[in-house]
Structure 1
Amino acid sequence: MRAARSFRTAASGWRLRAVAPIGIFRTGACTLPGSMIKQRDIDVRKQEGREAVDKEEAIRAEEKARLVEVLGVIDRRLRKELSVLGNRRGDVVGIRQEFFDDVSFNFSDATELGETWSSIVQQAELLAERERSHRVASTSVERLAWQHDNPYFARIDFVEESEGAEGASGGGTAAAGKVESIYIGRSSLIGEDGETFYIYDWRAPVSSLFYDGEPGPVSYETPGGMASGTMTLKRQFVIRGGVLKHVFDTDETIGDDILQAVLSERSDTSMKSIVATIQKEQNRIIRDEKHKLLVVQGAAGSGKTSAALQRVAYLLYRYRETLTPEQVILFSPNPVFKGYVSRVLPDLGEANMRQMTFRELIEARLGRRWEVEDLFAQTEELAATSGTAEGESREAAARYKGSEHFFATAGNYLERLKKSGVRFRPLRFRGETIVSAEEMAARYYGELGHEDFGERLIKLRRWLNGRLNGWIESQIGEAWLEEAAELASEEDIQRTYVQLRREGGFHDEAFDDEDRMTELLLRRVAENSIGPLRKAVKGFRFMDPMATYRELFRSRTLFTACAPDGKLPPRYEWMVLRADETLGRKIIDHEDATPLLFIMEALEGFRKVEGDVKHLFVDEAQDYSPFQAAFLRRRFPHARLTVLGDFNQAIYAQAEESGGFGGWTRLVAEEDTAVWRLTTSYRSTRPIVEFSKRILRPEDAEGISAFNRDGEEPSVRSCRDNRELAEQVAAKAEELLAAGYATIGVIAKTAAECGDASALIKERLPDKTPVTLVTGGSAKLPPGVSILPSYLSKGIEFDAVLVWDASAARYGREQDRKLLYTVCTRALHVLNVYCVGERSPLFGSDQNGSDQKGLDREVETR
């Protein structure tokens, strides 16, 4: 016989840790058969189970009753707002239809004209006020509608110290009647009395307890200081369509049950709000108000972009009196990503911040005058010339021109340009030089030499307009001008006549009206003729930034004098030849675009600087060169920076030597900088995360962990050729769509491969299957099958990813490692990798030399 090794008594009866399968258990004078003890333990467990079920049912009943009450409040408020919205809509329509009926028109004299104008302004103001009221009511109706669907997601019970928290720390009834139940949702809901809070906004100070605290003593920061107390309960909900689906009590920051439920959902074509699943470390990022620079290094799928968008929403809520969405800018990696995140803020009840790509910033200033290569075109060319001398030189140039060394060189060059070197373009008309480049330079460095760049250019522009005025005077009486006046349009003649009447012409005492009419018409025709010159002067186009920038590469002596270490960069001679070839044809390589824009805007006095921008967010910041980072800091000088990225997804040549986020952290003082690291990947299943980690070097993969969400193992399959590859990918895509997966990403390395893949896959899928070829100009990610190049997949996620040809021929170099990792980490639930021939060596082998876990499913189809 073998007795139990330990036991303990409880009020509910016996509970054994280890029970002998047969025999008896002896304790003191009591001898009980083992079967009786076992039966008593079973009875105790059943009783505890019944109590647990009863408790759970009581909790659900309580929360259902509370939900019904809240939905009733929302329903009443919604009906009221709908009535207001209907009335406001009717007011707007009525005012628009009767606008001119309610305005008195009288143009008989100046007094009547003033009264008529005043009447129009009053009617316009009334219309504007009604339209504003309509927008407010419409926004309120929209908010209440999604509140009715999902009013809140959490509850905490909290007792403030001042309210007698003593005795409540154990969660008992000592604080009965003093516990405040705080329900937390995407937006607040206040009762009609203006005092009852049915729901607290997730951004409210007290809501931080849900994200950061656990039951027990807690504190949180308020505008008036720290508030302390005891949290006696922490509960989470899943509510869909106004129906309570799940209730979870938890001691954790965010319970795994909720995370499992959310992360297991199918993907959508737009990013979702994560306010119900914000983790503690993410909450710190969202609510940081102290630092001027916030750097977030996060593993793929760690929620850094989601946290950044919630941070925007938090800042707009926290500083709603002083901060507007127009004062917040998010730099996105590509247009597809812009569309992908466009719904997050509206879903939180906030207007979208300004969004742009770095490409759009470049295009706005340079694209109207010159042909500018974008980052994706550069990437395609580097891929096409990989392994050649030309390709290696281009990569070296891209790396150098994005470096801090070159930014310092450009800065030193600007200092020299204060004394000499700025190039100008002459003003010419019909072959005649009105103002020469030499005259402009003489004035720029002579009379204006003591001014700053911007002031010099403004005063030079004023001077040039004066010279143009003088030139017009000199042309009066010239034959070409008289011939042009004879061909003047009816519109010019009519405008000249009106101008003369305003100046007092064509009245009884006038005797030289015809001569004055002719003179005015000649001046008007001359002014129209030099209109393009006036426009060029207004836009500072008399200054030649491209020629000024080219000069830096035309003189070795000049370059070494400007370089901080007095040295030429590697492959400098190649850069000189490339600059002569491209810039000479008014074509700007991507690596030259930011330095050229920096020189141009500095010479213009940074007249486009956006000093009113208070917050600048940069996603995929690891792909920005140090030069680009410094340029953005100069362009948005007063903005606080939040930069997000992942070293392991730095896929562009310009950022290969950036040293991680060094280009950003050196922009702001250390004491004003905070660096946060997010290491847990929530996007993908554990098998996908583990599979992707093994693509990285061990030192880069260190620290990355997966949230415990199971799924199928990724697979690597080999094919004979592209046609067989297309057959397998098409069959798998059809299977996944039939299984309910909404978004399937077929990711190839380059755009050229995507074109081939799209044609081959469409041939093999039914016509009704949605297949979209995503390009650099795409602004929206549609449902169905999306075929896109690797660099456009950044920041996006799919239910399933099918990697197109991850062979040794396509991903065989060390510099392809991070690109392959980026592609594989786009998958939420399913990852299948296909290769034509030998698979990429970057998948590697484990320590035993065998294929990695996840690669043992390779299917040979030869």
Structure 2
Amino acid sequence: MADAAKEEQLHLTFVLERIREMIDYLNQRAQTASTDDGRDTDEAETAEEVAARVVERLREVHLDGLTRSQSEPYFGRLDFQEEGEARPAALYIGKRGVEDIDDGNRMVIDWRAPVASMFYAFAGQEESSYETQEGEVRGRVSLKRNVVIRNGKLQRAVDSYVSGQDNLNVTDEFLLYRLEEHKDNRLRDIVSSIQAEQDRIIRAVRSQAVVIQGVAGSGKTTVALHRLAYLLYQYADRLNPERMVIFAPNEMFMDYISDVLPELGVGGVQQTTFTAWALKVLNYEVKLQSSEGQLERWFGQKQEQHAQEFELSRVKGSIDLLRRMDHRLKQMEADFIPQNDFEPWPGQVLPVSQIAHWFQKEYVHYPLATRRERVLARIKRWYESEYKRVKEDDKTGAIKKQAASRFRSYRTKWTEVKAVDLYQRLLNEVLPGFSVPSQEVTKGKGKKSNRPQVQAEDLAPLLYLNLKLNGMDARDNFHHVVIDEAQDFSPLQIAVLKEYCPSQSFTILGDLSQSIHTYQGITDWAEFMDLFETEKQAYFQLNVSYRSTMEIIEFANHILQEFSGFTKAEPVFRSGDPVSIHHVEKSNQADSIARVLDTWQETVETVAVVTPSTASAKQLYDDLRHSGVSVKLIDKSDEPYAGGISVVPVYLTKGLEFDAVFITDVNEETYPFTALAAKLLYVGCTRALHRLQIFYSTTPSSLLKNVLQEQIS
């Protein structure tokens, strides 16, 4: 391997020097262009000036790519001899392509390019190929090398395959090297360590719904982000990043993943939550009722204690409700037109048959509310045109006044339908007695107005009704939709998003074993896949967990093993400290954690102290500070995660990961033997990369009965 490192050091020196030369050249061009641009900014641009501005923008993009590449120009090398060629070519793979501006030579190939797919798919066979628009390109691989470069310095060069030699079997060694790295407060890209099964998902065709069932730590979120970057690269002429969206579970998670796309050279992609997006589309005509504590209220309770509320939430997210809404809209459409002619003044009649023709034929492709306004506007134009014929005889203007008065009266017979009102009536049919409450909202200078107050699960049906009644703003149309933690979405949410993404280009990812919001989520991915045409869907399963050690994954698997619908996570061969379970009095938890942290010192960078509730998180946060621990409290989903040591309720940890995790109060009363409690505990355990400690203070949770019983002290 020493020869490999020496060879790569020489090549790295050459590449970095050439990159610096190109940066200097582009900067000089920028200075020249700035000096030559003496045009008055108020003058209209000529065609040549527009072209020059485009060229300048391309130069800026090129310069930015080169500047970013200086730190880590590439991470892999593949020597590939294409059929018909005399010798192999050394292909260097990086996060972004680098092309020599003098001769056009590809010094570094973008990881998303077709030829780079061989680097990820290669598994030791000499014969290899990749697909292009022109067809398959075949050849032979003689070398695959993993390279680690940090801040322009070569740190590692490992050959995972050399033609003619025995299988070196070091691919796993390189992966483990990357997995052993400590976490900071942001999710990282995995370009250099994408596995073959992950690469197949990333490169799946665009116009379909890709559903990913991935166990905790399988990299599904990162894979989805890389897929988005891949699609933008491959379909740059058809996809606009500003028309792509990532739906994240909360704002804290959005902040956590915020560095990945920029690092991959992608900007402008929308990142939001379904709730925030829905309220915006509804023009904030409804107010969201606080759901804080909803999960905690159900957490640990028996099913029958909240069965009615649970069932109501399920109904609101069901496709059955969508069908009821469609049925009601058809009924409304059939009865929408007043069943009488319009007579603006005696003797002048517009037959109801003509009005019906306009409504049911000419304007049938418009949404219902828009049709109403267009037909009424047509009627108004009709009587105004007819009035011109009698205007000279209407000396006093009595006919004109009469026509306006009759039109106003006639207009009131056309029901003005609002989504909230229609939704209220529908819910009363499905669940008699249910009501959408409203509350008084202050609107500037003491003015007040009633704005309906709804729950989060009301937003999807309201969006659907609003869409059918008022249509869609073209700016809300998506080219591609990514949904993270999708197991907590309802089928109706997916159906609504389909309306906003006509191409049906989706990446839907989650883990049924982590479906803690079961009151609105799903129990089977078929509930989503059945919403798409068979040829428009693809299902992938990621069962290997790359995040945690073998000990942590095996521990977490035991927690869920007695519950149905559980997908067992398969750990990579990375061993670490055993999971420890301790009896610690509640009053001593903070001191015990502080002592353990002292022994770890510099060996961990990020730590989560996971509690069963927001209240217990606040109390333990105070206790830890009193014990001298520098700690942060995360008790809201809109708080940024800043790294270091954090105290956080278990339901807010999903999607995050930490070097080490303490889970406190794993008692029978806080984590009873229920599916919901088991999933919450599983989520908490699988946040840990390297170390996991479990504390209980009274009777240990029966969920631990199959988990290393001999360790309970």
| TM-score after normalising by structure 1 | 0.69
Query: 2-side partners of 1:289 and 1:398: how far apart?
Result: 34
Q: Which residue of 2 aligns with 1:474?
A: none
* Residue of structure 2 in register with 1:762 after alignment: 625
| Preserved CA contact (<8 Å) 2:249 2:485 | yes
Q: What amino acid maps onto 2:95 in structure 1?
A: R
Local SS of the residue matching 2:92: strand
Residue 121 of structure 1: CA displacement? 3.5
Question: Separation in 1 of the partners of 2:23 and 2:14?
Answer: 14
- The answer to whether the 8 Å contact 2:207/2:503 transfers is no
Quick one: distance in 2 between partners of 1:630 and 1:321? 27
CA positional deviation for 1:460:
3.7
Q: Is the 8 A contact 1:236 1:249 kept in 2?
A: yes
Whether 2:614 is the aligned partner of 1:614: answer no
Unaligned runs of 5+ in 2: 162-166, 339-352, 382-410, 441-449
Q: 71, 77, 81: which one pairs with 1:155?
A: 77
CA contact (8 A) 1:726 1:757 kept: yes
* 1:415 and 2:330 matched: yes
Secondary structure at 1:805 match in 2: coil
1:721-762 deviation per Cα after TM superposition (whole angstroms, max 9, x unaligned) = 2x32233334445554x3242222222333343333333333
How much has 1:455 moved relative to structure 2? 4.7
Q: Does 1:370 align with 2:235?
A: no
Among candidates 55, 67, 91, match of residue 145 of structure 1: 67
Opposite residue 545 of structure 1, the aligned amino acid is A
**Residue in 2 that maps onto 1:206:** 115
| 1:686 aligns to 2:601 (yes or no) | no
| Residue from 297, 319, 322 that aligns with 1:404 | 319
| Alpha-carbon contact 2:581-2:695 (below 8 Å) kept | yes
Is structure 2 residue 682 aligned with structure 1 residue 821?
yes
Closer/same/farther in 2, CA of residues 247 and 546 from structure 1, 3 Å limit:
same
Q: Distance in 2 between matches of 1:129 and 1:159?
A: 40
Distance 2:487 2:573 in 1: 28
User: How do 1:107-122 and structure 2 match up within 5 A?
Assistant: 119-122=42-45
The alpha-carbon distance between structure 1 residues 634 and 418, as it changes in their structure 2 partners (threshold 3 A), is same
- Other structure's SS at 2:428 match: coil
Q: Kindly tell me: are residues 421 and 739 of structure 1, through their superposed partners in 2, closer, same or farther at Cα, counting changes over 3 Å?
A: farther
Write the distance in 2 (CA, Å) between the matches of 1:73 and 1:180.
Answer: 19
Residue 695 of structure 1 corresponds to 559
Q: Is structure 2 residue 710 aligned with structure 1 residue 794?
A: no
> Does the residue aligned with 2:503 lie in a helix, a strand or coil?
coil
Residue from 194, 199, 213 that aligns with 1:283 = 199
> Which whole-Å deviations, capped at 9, do the CAs of 1:668-691 have from their partners, x for residues lacking one?
222332111111100111111111
The residue identity in structure 2 corresponding to 1:549 is Y
CA distance in 2, matches of 1:137, 1:120: 24
Structure 1 pair 261–85 and aligned structure 2 pair: CA distance change class (3 A): farther
1:753-808 CA-to-partner distances (Å, cap 9, x unmatched) read 33333333333235xx2524241222x31021223333322221111222232222
Residue 225 of structure 1: how far off its partner (Å): 0.3
Question: Conserved in 1, the CA contact under 8 Å of 2:625 and 2:631?
Answer: no
**Higher normalized contact order (CA 8 Å, seq sep 6+, divided by chain length):** 2
For 1:393, what is the secondary structure of its paired residue?
helix
Taking a change above 3 Å as real, the CA distance of residues 254 and 371 of structure 1, as seen in their structure-2 partners, is: farther
Structural mapping, 1:833-844, within 5 Å: 833-844=694-705
CA distance in structure 2 between the partners assigned to 1:124 and 1:372 by the alignment: 50
| Larger displacement relative to structure 2 (246-255 or 345-354) | 246-255
The DSSP-based 3-state class of the residue aligned with 1:553 is helix
Give the equivalent residue in structure 2 for 1:784.
644
| Secondary structure of residue in 2 paired with 1:802 | strand
Q: What are the Cα deviations for residues 406-440 of structure 1, in whole angstroms up to 9, with x where unaligned?
A: 232222222222234899xxxxxxxxxxxxxxxxx
Q: Is contact 2:176–2:574 with CA below 8 Å preserved after alignment? A: yes
CA distance in 1, matches of 2:434, 2:512: 33
Confirm or deny that 1:650 pairs with 2:515: yes
SS state of the match for residue 70, structure 2?
Answer: helix
Q: How does 1:81-160 map to 2 (within 5 A)?
A: 81-85=26-30, 102=40, 119-122=42-45, 136-160=58-82
Contact kept, 8 Å, 1:328 with 1:613, in 2: the verdict is yes
CA contact (8 A) 1:291 1:674 kept: no
Answer yes or no: is the 8 Å Cα contact 1:725–1:835 preserved in 2.
no
Q: 1:206-605 to 2 correspondence within 5 Å? A: 206-213=115-122, 214-251=124-161, 255-289=171-205, 292-366=208-282, 368-373=284-289, 378-383=294-299, 386-387=301-302, 391-420=306-335, 448=359, 451-452=363-364, 454-461=366-373, 543-555=417-429, 559=430, 572-573=431-432, 576-577=433-434, 579=436, 586-604=452-470
Q: Which residue of 2 aligns with 1:63?
A: 8
Report the AA paired with residue 230 of structure 1.
Answer: R
Instruction: After TM superposition, give the deviation of residue 208 of structure 1 in Å.
Output: 1.0
Q: Give the distance between the partners of 2:647 and 2:319, measured in 1 at CA.
A: 36
**Partners in 1 of 2:292 and 2:504 — Cα distance?**
28
The yes-or-no answer on 1:666 pairing with 2:530 is yes
Query: Equivalent pairs: percent with the same residue?
Result: 28
Instruction: Give how far 1:293 is off.
Output: 1.6
Q: Does the Cα contact within 8 Å between 2:660 and 2:688 map onto a contact in 1?
A: yes
Amino acid at match of 1:708: F
What is the Cα deviation at residue 712 of structure 1? 0.9
Q: Secondary structure at the match of 2:280?
A: helix
Report the AA paired with residue 642 of structure 1: T
1:274 shift after superposition: 0.6
Check 1:130–1:724 CA distance in 2 against 1; reply closer, same or farther (3 A cut): farther
For 1:355, what is the secondary structure of its paired residue? strand
Q: Structure 1: 5+ residue runs without aligned partners?
A: 1-55, 104-118, 164-176, 424-441, 470-536, 560-571, 846-851
Provide the C-alpha distance between the structure 1 equivalents of 2:415 and 2:287, rounded to a whole number of angstroms.
Answer: 16
Root mean square deviation, CA, Å: 3.6
Q: CA deviation at 1:649?
A: 0.8
Cα distance change, pair 749–244 in 1 and its aligned pair in 2 (3 A) = same
- The question of whether the paired residues in 2 share the 8 Å contact of 1:342 and 1:352 is answered with no
Does the C-alpha gap of structure 1 residues 287 and 553 become closer, same or farther in structure 2, counting only changes over 3 Å? closer
8 A contact 1:601–1:608 mirrored in 2? no
Cα distance in 1 between the residues matched to 2:71 and 2:507: 32
What is the aligned partner in structure 1 of residue 571 from structure 2? 706
Deviations, residues 559-582 of structure 1 (Å, cap 9, x unaligned): 5xxxxxxxxxxxx45xx2455799
SS at match of 2:559: coil
Give yes or no for contact 1:694–1:701 (8 Å, CA) kept in 2: no
Cα deviations across residues 834-862 of structure 1 (Å, max 9, x unaligned)?
A: 233122212232xxxxxx33x54434xxx
Question: Would the alpha carbon gap of residues 808 and 83 (structure 1) be closer, same or farther in structure 2, given more than 3 Å must change?
Answer: farther
Q: Hey, what's the Cα distance between the residues in 1 that align with 2:602 and 2:252?
A: 26
SS at match of 2:146: strand
Question: CA separation in 2, counterparts of 1:776 and 1:443?
Answer: 55
Q: Deviations over 1:129-152 (max 9, x none)?
A: 888666655544443233222111
Task: Report the more deviating stretch, 835-844 or 676-685.
Answer: 835-844
Q: How many Å apart are 1:263 and its aligned residue?
A: 0.6
Q: Is the 8 A contact 2:4 2:159 kept in 1?
A: no
Q: Which amino acid aligns with 1:783?
A: G
Q: Using structure 2 for the length normalisation, give the TM-score.
A: 0.83
